[in-house]
């Protein structure tokens, strides 16, 4: 088993996170997730490894178009879909299964929804999932178990500056937190190493989105996630609160061009890390898994 990371992620309301993860997107993958997936896919050009097989972690919310981009890049690789939420299996299968008469069937490997190889996949693609996990350290450990030795993980998530304007509005008006805290990319790197990954490479960018009205902004925000902060407002908000928020946003989160438009910042973290061969410190008695033993025997003696 990989060592447990000492890094403690920010506290998240676990039942609320579970409810969100079971909820299917009403109108396909969010636009912002697709855009982030497109930018992350472009980063694959700098990775020389050519995976024989790859898996997409929860693509219905992570990005269906991004899935197609990766499948097209690695058209000769076997593609798997990993969806751990039973309620999302059927809509994900429907969305990614191309009819026989469409060109999509010939533009990239058709995904399989069967279990990936026991020894893992060469690439695990996980777009925009980590920041909504109740226990992100446990999720990273799951990912480690799904990646083959010498394979790599590619992921993205929101960073700490996300929604800084909205959080400032809530603080200014004396309201409970507008969102749960998002983890810094350096802490993600520490957690990756703690889970058994190696050579993590992290980078970030900020994307500023603008809307013509508060209603439009709030509608899109609902498609991107939920406030999982344990100290968030514990009940339903009323129409007077919504009206106050809609009036405050143009004033306290104005876009540069003015005109009553609203601007919100999203910090996007991108990361990838490789899974090295297991190294076991031998003592008079040592226990390793059959999978680790197989890998070590293929490479030479343990610890070599």
302 dihedral zone (left: phi>0; alpha: psi -120 to 50; beta): beta
- Among residues 120, 185, 115, 109, the alpha carbon closest in space to that of 153 is found at 120
Cα dihedral sign for 20, 23, 28, 29? positive
Per-residue pLDDT at 98: 65
In terms of DSSP bridges, do strands 147-158 and 78-82 run parallel, antiparallel, or are they unpaired? unpaired
Separation CA 220–CA 31 (nearest Å): 9
> What is the mean pLDDT of each successive set of 10 residues along the chain, which is 304 residues long?
47 93 91 98 94 97 96 95 95 81 58 93 98 96 97 98 97 96 96 96 97 96 95 91 96 92 98 89 54 54 40
State the alpha helices, DSSP H only, in 126-238: 136-146, 164-172, 185-195, 214-224
Q: Considering the entire predicted model, what is its pTM?
A: 0.86
Separation CA 160–CA 206 (nearest Å): 11
Q: Residue 113, SS3?
A: coil
- What are residue 264's DSSP bridge partners? 209
Per-residue pLDDT at 5: 44
């Amino acid at each position: 088993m990989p060592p447990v990371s000492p890094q403690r992620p920010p506290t998240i309301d676990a039942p609320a996170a579970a409810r969100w993860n079971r909820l299917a997107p009403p109108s396909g993958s969010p636009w912002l997730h697709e855009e982030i997936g497109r930018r992350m896919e472009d980063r694959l050009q700098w990775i020389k490894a050519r995976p024989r097989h790859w898996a997409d972690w929860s693509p219905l919310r992570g990005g269906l178009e991004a899935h197609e981009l990766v499948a097209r890049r690695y058209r000769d690789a076997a593609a798997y879909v990993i969806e751990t939420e039973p309620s999302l299996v059927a809509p994900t299968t429907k969305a990614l299964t191309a009819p026989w008469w469409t060109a999509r069937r010939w533009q990239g490997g058709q995904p399989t929804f069967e279990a990936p190889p026991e020894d893992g996949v060469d690439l695990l693609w996980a777009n925009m999932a980590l920041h909504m996990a109740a226990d992100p350290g446990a999720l990273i450990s799951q990912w480690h178990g799904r990646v083959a030795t010498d394979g790599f993980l590619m992921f993205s998530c929101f960073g700490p500056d996300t929604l800084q304007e909205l959080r400032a509005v809530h603080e200014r008006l004396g309201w409970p937190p507008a969102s749960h805290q998002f983890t810094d990319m350096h802490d993600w790197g520490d957690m990756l190493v703690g889970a058994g990954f190696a050579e993590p490479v992290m980078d970030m960018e900020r994307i500023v989105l603008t809307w013509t009205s508060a209603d439009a902004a709030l509608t899109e925000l609902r498609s991107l996630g939920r406030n999982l902060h344990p100290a968030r407002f514990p009940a339903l908000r009323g129409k007077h609160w919504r009206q106050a928020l809609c009036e405050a946003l143009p004033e306290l989160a104005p876009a540069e061009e003015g005109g009553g438009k609203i601007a919100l910042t999203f910090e996007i973290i991108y990361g990838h890390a490789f899974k090295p061969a297991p190294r076991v410190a031998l003592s008079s008695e040592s226990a390793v898994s059959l999978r680790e033993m197989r890998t070590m025997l293929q490479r030479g003696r343990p610890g070599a």
